[in-house]
A and B are shown apart, each in its own frame.
Chain A
Amino acid sequence: MEHSPVTTNPLIIMLINMTVVFIVLVALIYLIKLIHFVDPTKEKPKPEVEEEEPLVAVKSAPAVSAPPVVEEGINPEIIAAISAAIAAYGFAGTVKAVHILNHESTPWKASAKFNNLQRK
């Protein structure tokens, strides 16, 4: 049903509308918090560290002498094989930049990084 506007004063319309928008969105904030509060699947906060057992001096056993692991990097043959596979797949562009992507990155971070790479 159509009716005439309550007011035509721009300032009053602005104030009423902004107030309503803020109230609705603040109410949504509390709704989101409520959903989080009642969420039965959320991870329970881990209990505080339990009382530590008193430290007892233990005679240390002689260390097993494990052979030191030496990081030698990737075998050049593997790099050559991967490069050949990429070339066979049809890649023929020139490399503009090399970026090392962090494997621990979240999907959102990865998306942001990818977005930046696309712009370069």
Chain B
Amino acid sequence: MEALNAFSVSLQAVWNDSGFSAFTPGNGIMILVGLLLLYMAFVKEFEPLLLGPIAFGCILANFPNTGFFGEEMNVMKAINYGITYEIFPPLIFLGIGAMTDFSPLLARPSTLLLGAAAQIGVFVALGGAMLVGFDVHEAAAIGIIGGADGPTSIYLSTKLAPHLLGAIAVAAYSYMSLVPLIQPPIMKLMTTQKEREIVMKELRPVTKFERVVFPIVSTIFISLLLPPIAALLGCLMLGNLFRESGVTDRLSDTAQNALINIVTIFLGTGTGMTMSAESFLRTDTLLIIALGLVAFMGGTAGGLIFGKIMCKFTGGEINPLIGSAGVSAVPMAARVSQLVGMKSKPGNYLLMHAMGPNVAGVIGTAVAAGTMLAMLK
């Protein structure tokens, strides 16, 4: 009898400690959301490197009684610190910097204006978010989705609206992966066939001196002007300096391969871990996803409009299609410009020209984030 009693008590204890006893319908829905994201990442190949870990993190976050965010330190809590204390986004930028060639931007610096114009989407979404009831901090974090820059979106939302991090990160990375679907219809709608057929002149060669001095000078200038983004911009330019110096190949190789891969796993998983049922299953999430789309489309349209203006002022030397690359999804947005240009006129290679506004968009989004932090924090 005593043995039976002990067996019953033990079973009761196992049940009470299990996730099933505290499992809610919300957890079930979020695990399904995680599975859907996994499907999108691995079957449909929508940004699989990031959406994969985010999806799995989302599933993990919805198991009750795991103690991931309890008192005791554990690996998931440590990963979460990397996001809470804004460690991962700058490290991702270090890798992006090491992978980015600034030569097209240096050869034609006027394309920085396209990177600035594409930030219009950020501020349109910010205004829209405030109109539907988000406070100014939340609206700023939502608006930055329009920059199509995942690390900056995570960086800003961690600082301004940490409770919205999961929804903002998912929206940002989902739209980034959908660039080839979202942008072409807007590009065709806003440009004429004649404009799309413009063949741009070859870019001038850029010297090593320019490529080495630019990251140093721009870091000094932007970090002094907007200290809140010194970590982001500094890491981007340091990575680029590793690449361009010619004497730090090992560091450049580490930054653009091993380091960025490791940090991507942690950033994705940690972001997914913020997608618990109680923080994600809200009407706000749907609004954020809708506003993110508005931001993204607005950014694309802003870049194209400015591209058309530049086309007019340069007497038809600029193909407006490169304007859409001002949103900073590198290098996807530049590839889309190239693809639409090629469809309009086979043999018209816009990739090199579109990389200028594309990397300008990365800087522009970081500057927009820094400005909002300076104004709002």
List of B residues within 8 angstroms of A11 by Cβ: 127
Q: How far is the CA of A16 from the CA of B355 in the complex (A)?
A: 27
Residues on B lying within 8 angstroms of A by beta carbon are 104-106, 109-110, 112-113, 115-116, 119-120, 122-124, 126-127, 130-131, 135-137, 139-140, 202-203, 207-210, 213-214, 217-218, 221-222, 225-226, 335, 338-339, 342, 349-352, 355, 360, 363-364, 367-368, 371-372, 375-377
Mask, A100-112, CB within 8 Å of B = 1, is 0000001011011
Q: A20-B367, A106-B202 are in contact. Are A14 and B123 (CB under 8 A)?
A: yes
List of A residues within 8 angstroms of B351 by Cβ: 108-109, 111-112, 115
On whether the beta carbons of A39 and B209 are closer than 8 Å, the reply is: yes
Instruction: Choose one: B135, B136, B349; the contact of A109 (CB below 8 Å).
Output: B349
Instruction: Choose one: A18, A27, A35; the contact of B120 (CB below 8 Å).
Output: A18
List of A residues within 8 angstroms of B377 by Cβ: 2-3
On whether the beta carbons of B367 and A25 are closer than 8 Å, the reply is: yes
Write the nearest CB–CB distance from B350 to chain A, whole angstroms.
Answer: 8
Q: List 10 A-B contacts (CB under 8 A).
A: A5-B376, A13-B123, A13-B140, A16-B371, A21-B116, A21-B367, A26-B112, A28-B112, A33-B109, A109-B352
Write the nearest CB–CB distance from B124 to chain A, whole angstroms.
Answer: 7
Instruction: Choose one: B109, B207, B363; the contact of A39 (CB below 8 Å).
Output: B207
List of A residues within 8 angstroms of B112 by Cβ: 25-26, 28-29, 32
Q: How far is the CA of A38 from the CA of B127 in the complex (A)?
A: 42
Number of A-B contacts (CB under 8 A): 133
A58 within 8 A of B: no
A10 within 8 A of B: yes
Q: How far is the CA of A112 from the CA of B341 in the complex (A)?
A: 11
A81 within 8 A of B: no
On whether the beta carbons of A32 and B208 are closer than 8 Å, the reply is: no
Instruction: Choose one: A3, A13, A25, A108; the contact of B360 (CB below 8 Å).
Output: A25
List of A residues within 8 angstroms of B368 by Cβ: 17, 21
Write the nearest CB–CB distance from B67 to chain A, whole angstroms.
Answer: 31
List of A residues within 8 angstroms of B371 by Cβ: 16-17, 20-21
On whether the beta carbons of A28 and B363 are closer than 8 Å, the reply is: yes
List of B residues within 8 angstroms of A119 by Cβ: 339
On whether the beta carbons of A31 and B221 are closer than 8 Å, the reply is: yes
On whether the beta carbons of A27 and B221 are closer than 8 Å, the reply is: yes
On whether the beta carbons of A10 and B210 are closer than 8 Å, the reply is: no
Q: A28-B221, A29-B112, A112-B352 are in contact. Are A18 and B367 (CB under 8 A)?
A: no
Q: A10-B139, A14-B124, A14-B127 are in contact. Are A36 and B367 (CB under 8 A)?
A: no
List of B residues within 8 angstroms of A27 by Cβ: 221
On whether the beta carbons of A115 and B123 are closer than 8 Å, the reply is: no
Instruction: Choose one: B115, B209, B217, B349; the contact of A31 (CB below 8 Å).
Output: B217
Q: How far is the CA of A115 from the CA of B117 in the complex (A)?
A: 27
Q: A17-B368, A109-B352, A112-B338 are in contact. Are A22 and B210 (CB under 8 A)?
A: no
A75 within 8 A of B: no
On whether the beta carbons of A8 and B123 are closer than 8 Å, the reply is: no
Beta-carbon contacts under 8 Å, A1-55 to B: 2-3, 5-6, 8, 10-11, 13-14, 16-18, 20-22, 24-29, 31-33, 35-36, 39-42
Q: How far is the CA of A17 from the CA of B137 in the complex (A)?
A: 14
Closest Cβ neighbor of A20 among chain B residues: B371
Q: How far is the CA of A41 from the CA of B139 in the complex (A)?
A: 47
Q: How far is the CA of A24 from the CA of B339 in the complex (A)?
A: 30
Q: A28-B109, A111-B351, A112-B352 are in contact. Are A10 and B130 (CB under 8 A)?
A: yes
On whether the beta carbons of B209 and A40 are closer than 8 Å, the reply is: yes
Write the nearest CB–CB distance from B341 to chain A, whole angstroms.
Answer: 9
Instruction: Choose one: A2, A21, A108; the contact of B104 (CB below 8 Å).
Output: A108
Q: How far is the CA of A10 from the CA of B218 in the complex (A)?
A: 29
On whether the beta carbons of B338 and A115 are closer than 8 Å, the reply is: yes
A116 within 8 A of B: yes
Q: How far is the CA of A14 from the CA of B127 in the complex (A)?
A: 7
Q: How far is the CA of A29 from the CA of B140 in the complex (A)?
A: 26
List of B residues within 8 angstroms of A6 by Cβ: 375
List of B residues within 8 angstroms of A2 by Cβ: 377
On whether the beta carbons of B106 and A32 are closer than 8 Å, the reply is: yes
Q: How far is the CA of A115 from the CA of B225 in the complex (A)?
A: 38
On whether the beta carbons of B136 and A35 are closer than 8 Å, the reply is: no
Q: How far is the CA of A2 from the CA of B342 in the complex (A)?
A: 50
